Amino acid sequence: MVSARSALMSGIAVLSLALGACPCGSSRRTLVYDGFDGACAEVACGWEIEAGEVASVTTLHPGERGLRLAAGAVIARTVQGLEDSTPRDMIDALVRCEAGGQVRFSVVMLVGQEIEHTIAATTDAPTRDDRHFTRFEMPLTALDGDGNPGGEPLRVRVEQLGTGACVIDEVFFLRGPDFSCNG
């Protein structure tokens, strides 16, 4: 007779062997992460306001901050290198928008020596709910629909589109493939 504990331990052992047989792991690198908790002037440290009104605001948890972007607001941040031969850039952010608000996350890339190319992703327009943020995860692609040519990132931008304001609790700009398992 097999006890429940023995069956559980056997199941864990089989799962461990199965996972250990494949050298899987995340190879995606973080180009930019910001939880917006550090305030420098009216915007989070390292960011500059290109347009509109931006304010540091409290989010769900005491002591945590986010950025509120009014309609038409744009913030940007210069980034360092991280050139990648596999152009699989992605955005991962916690966002809450008023009705009519959207956010576009973009990376301006240097392709070759002189050509700038922008890759981006735009959120849907979630209805405002003070209790919930929506996790927005999406690949960044060319604005003209031609995919992602890769290259060297120069700066990241966050633009508020539409008529309603949006609050961003945190944002990750990620580079490279998500997970690889090539045996």
Please tell me the distance from the alpha carbon of residue 93 to that of residue 123, in angstroms, as a whole number.
10
- Predicted pLDDT of residue 120: 87
- Predicted pLDDT of residue 183: 37
- Predicted pLDDT of residue 70: 95
- Predicted pLDDT of residue 46: 86
- Predicted pLDDT of residue 51: 95
Q: What is the mean pLDDT of each run of 10 residues along the chain (183 residues)?
A: 40 35 54 79 81 88 86 91 69 88 90 80 70 83 76 89 90 71 41
Tell me the whole-structure pTM to 2 decimals.
Answer: 0.76
**Domains (ranges, CATH) in the chain?**
27-180 (2.60.120.260)
- Predicted pLDDT of residue 73: 96
